[in-house]
Amino acid sequence: MKKLIAGIALFGTFALASAQTITFDKTTFDYGTVKPSSDGTRFFTVTNTGDKPLVLSNVKASCGCTTPEFKTDPIMPGKSAQIKVGYNTAINGPFNKMIEVFSNDPANSRTVIYIKGNVDSNAPEVAAAPATPVDAKAAKKAAKAAKKVAAAK
């Protein structure tokens, strides 16, 4: 009986080790202090550090002032995708919003990411930075993590 239980536990561990795994470049995006009606769009990078395709099935914001956009195309092992999150910066005051990400990752089928910041008319002017949906440093880090996972097998 002990061998049977140990065999089942070992198989379960192997099954989880060889699956799709969701990884984020960051789990909280801090807008800092921004002016009203400024660009409220930010991007989270999602990487599949497992060895099977990862599928995002749903991304839900905690309120209507936050609008997430995502693709349901499978994210192949070692590859990344973007979740675009928009916040309505016409609403003055501090904010801290939760976004739920649902996927086929067996260990983390529901993951929570956050955006936070403060909309203030006295915020200093900020020079607009080019909007790049892919953070090169984060993408390299995720690729390196994927290689480590593959090498460990």
Selection from 112, 118, 87 nearest residue 99 by Cα: 112
Global pTM?
0.71
> pLDDT at residue 11 above 50?
no
Is pLDDT above 50 for 39?
yes
Quick check: 5 pLDDT over 60?
no
SS3 31: strand
Q: What is the pLDDT of residue 126?
A: 61
Which residues pair with residue 66 across a beta bridge? 87
Lowest mean pLDDT among 56-65, 73-82, 114-123, 136-145: 136-145
Count of beta carbons in the 10 Å neighbourhood of residue 69: 12
In the predicted model, is pLDDT for residue 34 greater than 60?
yes
The mean pLDDT of the chain is: 82
Residue type, 144: K
Q: What is the pLDDT of residues 99-132, one digit of tens each?
A: 999 999 999 999 999 999 999 998 887 654 444 4
